[in-house]
Amino acid sequence: MVMVSEDRCLPLQHLARAVACFSNLTRLHLSESRVETLNDVFLAHLAASCPKLKAVYVGRGITPRCKGSKDEHPVTEAGLDHFFRQCTQLEELSLFCLHEDFILPPSFFDLAHLHTLAVTHASVLDAPDLVKLSSLTSLYYVPAVITCERLSNLARVTSLTELSMHDDTRLDPEDEHTAALAMATIARLPRLNSFNFRLMFRSACTTLERLRVCESRTAQPDSLQLERLPIGIGDLLPSLRELAVLKCCSFSQLPEELTSLRRLEILKLVDCRVRSLPENFGSQPALKALVLSELLLAELPESFSQLTSLETLLLIHCPEVRQLPAGFWCLTALKTLCLKNLSNLTLLEGPGELVNLHTLNLDGNENMHAMHYLQELYICSCDNLANIPESLTLLTGLRILSVTRCRQLSSVPRRMDNLTQLSELDLTLCHQLTGFPQHLPVSLDILRLSSAKVIPLPDISSLPNLTSLMLIMAGMEQGNTALGGFSRLEHLELSLEDVPELSFPVPFSQLQTFTIEYANMMKRFPGDFGLALQRLRKLQISFAAELVELPASISDLRHLSSLEIAMAPKLTSLPDSLGALSRLCRLALKHCPSLELLPDSLTQLACLQSLLLGFTSIRSLPPNFSQLKRLRRLQLCACKQLQALPEDLTELRMLRYLTIVGSKQLLDREKHPHGIYRMYGLEIFS
């Protein structure tokens, strides 16, 4: 071994002569600030004289000149290429003398015996050929910036057992994913047992609180992918509070060291290949929220019951989970529990310990038991759920009950009046349901019911606090078509397929929106329609196959601001009293092919801003159309019988949008009113 470390500068020619005397030299150490600038001549002498050289250390003070310098023989890529081709037995190489833009020659990556490498200010990690160094086990690297490309190249060197980064290393500030990829890099090196990962993060490592790893579905097969979390993650990220691993198809397990993240509060594992959680998973005292979605989990560990701070648990689309651990119901801090699409899950008895639980979602599950402190219960798409047990009525703290899209559900408890806190009940799209609850709590504020069969309705009129009602019925028993007694009802939505008529024996004093759909047998509304709904603001009628007219009493709807009629093929006209709707702002008539005439009183609608006509047989717009001074939008779609636009249309100074579609007559510009294309602010769509 030759070590040059004298205080005075040693000329290269003297060093070259000295080295030439040692043909069996295996190690050469050129210490810092002791040797003048290297050049290709010295490297050529060294390679020729010392073919058995196995270790070379070149210190920081020895800087090779760049090409084009005044040095007659600078170190060049060709010089290094010749050196590496001759010294093929190199096992250790330290080059603390290369500039950032210095490119190592291809022969460097053919050093089959190289196991230790230390480089600084070089682009060695930019080369995809780094993977050719199959014997490389130890790497000390001092790049100015760690980029995603460099991390990807590094991750392919799976032979590494030791990795160290210098204090000056920084993560790429322009790429927010670099921190996550740095973790993936370390995790992908299976033999790595010693590394200085903290220095890659510098201050960001010790203070990092949120880390999110998400792979792209369009990533190349050989691109960097997270397979596991690095060993010692607790020491690397001591301040981490939130960890999310999303859509990582190669990520298959959590390490036991996960519990060393003592400050971790939120953990999300979504769409990964995780099959199990570590047995000590419960040893996370700070964990408050846990999301496990689209995993291959078969069970939860018994230590799960030790998560004493857990407040939110979402277990979604994990079909292999069959049961919850025995101590699950001891999670007394749990407030929100969502068990969704767990088709094989069997819920355990004894949930009474969940004293703080206020939200439970059981989408896709068929088993449930009483939880006395439950406030919200959602059951959706439970295809095998046949009935709701009577024990449901023991949930006296329940505020919201939603049972929807359960295709086999046939029965629910007949009495729910003891649920004195219930404010919202939704029983919709359960087409096999044979009966509704006949006794409902007076506390109900929102009620939604639907049935594909003719079944008796509960006594809705006895609900004094009801403000929103939706009924979707295939039909109603005779005598049940009278609606009234809703002193506080504000929103009413009806879908009554086989009901020929409705009556309003008692006015709806507070009703503001009324939607009626699929009233296929209803020909007309009752004559007192307007008087019963005097405070109505929005009226929507659709899919009324037999409707032929609207009542004249519609003029009593003094507060009406929006009227929409659609899919009414037999509607032939509108009443003249329509013009009395002094607050009407929007009128939409669509898919009414029998409608040929609009009443002349239409132009009395002083507040009308939008007139939307589509797929009608209207032949002309009313005279004095210019009286609609506030009209901003006029839409004429597929009104093929309409021959021309009114001549006084140009007097509508507020008109901003004119849409003409599907009418050849109206698209003829020569027939348009004179000056229409000079109207200020008007946009014409055709």
| Segment holding 480, helix H or strand E | none
Q: SS3 breakdown of the chain: % helix, strand, coil, rounded to 5?
A: 20, 25, 60
Radius of gyration of the chain measured on its C-alpha atoms: 39
Beta strand 538-542 with 562-566 is parallel
- 134-151 tens-digit pLDDT: 888 888 766 656 666 676
Please give the full DSSP string across 510-561, using - where no structure is assigned: T--EEEEE--TT-----TTHHHHTTT--EEEEE--TT-----GGGGG-TT--
| pTM (two decimals) | 0.57
Could you tell me which residue, 312 or 502, shows the higher pLDDT? 312
Task: State the average pLDDT over residues 349-373.
Answer: 51
Whether residue 506 contacts residue 464, with contact meaning beta carbons closer than 8 Å, is answered with no
pLDDT tops 60 at residue 166: no
pLDDT at 587 exceeding the cut of 80:
yes
CATH number of 2-204: 3.80.10.10
Mean pLDDT score across all residues of the chain? 78
Do residues 119 and 133 lie in contact, with contact meaning Cβ atoms separated by under 8 Å?
no
Residues with Cβ within 8 Å of residue 534, at least 6 apart in sequence: 507, 509, 556, 557, 558, 559
The answer to whether 642 touches 666, Cβ cutoff 8 Å, is yes
Query: Rounded to whole angstroms, what are the CA distances from 188 to 166, 176, 660?
Result: 21, 20, 61
CA torsion sign for 375, 381, 382, 388 is positive
pLDDT at 465 over 70: yes
Question: By the 8 A CB rule, do 503 and 483 touch?
Answer: yes
Q: What are residue 323's DSSP bridge partners?
A: 346
Largest CA distance in the chain: 120
Degrees to nearest 5, angle at CA 452 with 404 and 490 = 65
User: To which H or E segment does residue 77 belong?
Assistant: helix 77-86
Distances (CA, A) of 669 to 534, 633, 677: 44, 19, 10
How far apart are the C-alpha atoms of 562 and 557, rounded to whole Å?
Answer: 11
pLDDT of 211:
74
The predicted model gives 458-487 an average pLDDT of 74
What is the CB neighbour count within 10 angstroms for residue 562? 17
Q: Give the model's pLDDT for residue 603.
A: 94
Query: Judging by DSSP bridges, how do beta strands 145-146 and 138-142 pair with one another?
Result: unpaired
pLDDT digits (tens, 9 = 90+) for 190-210: 555 544 443 344 333 455 677
Identify which of 649, 645, 634 has the alpha carbon closest to the alpha carbon of residue 668: 645
Summarize the confidence of residues 77-104 as an average pLDDT.
Answer: 80
Return the higher-pLDDT residue of 353 and 360. 360
**DSSP alpha helix (H) spans, 232-371:** 233-236
Residue 539 burial by Cβ neighbours in a 10 Å radius (0-12, 13-18, 19+): buried
What is the Cα 165 distance to its own chain's centre? Answer: 36
What is the mean predicted confidence (pLDDT) over 528-548?
90
Inform me whether the pLDDT recorded for 105 exceeds 90.
no
**Long-range contacts of the stretch 461-464 (C-beta < 8 A, 24+):** 461/485, 461/486, 464/488
128 DSSP 8-state letter: G
**Residues 274, 278, 282, 287: is their CA dihedral positive or negative?**
negative
State the DSSP string of 187-200: HT-TT--EEE-HHH
Instruction: Report helix, strand or coil for 384.
Output: coil
Whole-angstrom CA distances from 233 to 144, 205, 213 are 24, 11, 14
d(CA 568, CA 592): 5
Rounded distance between C-alpha atoms, residue 460 and residue 45, angstroms: 102
Compute the average pLDDT of residues 494-522: 82
Does 263 score more than 70 pLDDT?
Answer: yes
pLDDT per residue over 22-48, tens digit each? 677 888 877 654 445 567 787 888 888
Average of per-residue pLDDT across 210-239: 62
- Tokens matching residue 255: 């390490």
Task: For residue 170, name the pLDDT band (cuts at 50, 70, 90).
Answer: low
With 0-12 CB in 10 A as exposed, 13-18 as middle and 19+ as buried, what is 111? Answer: buried
Better-scored residue on pLDDT, 296 or 473? 296
- Which has more confidence, 104 or 122? 104
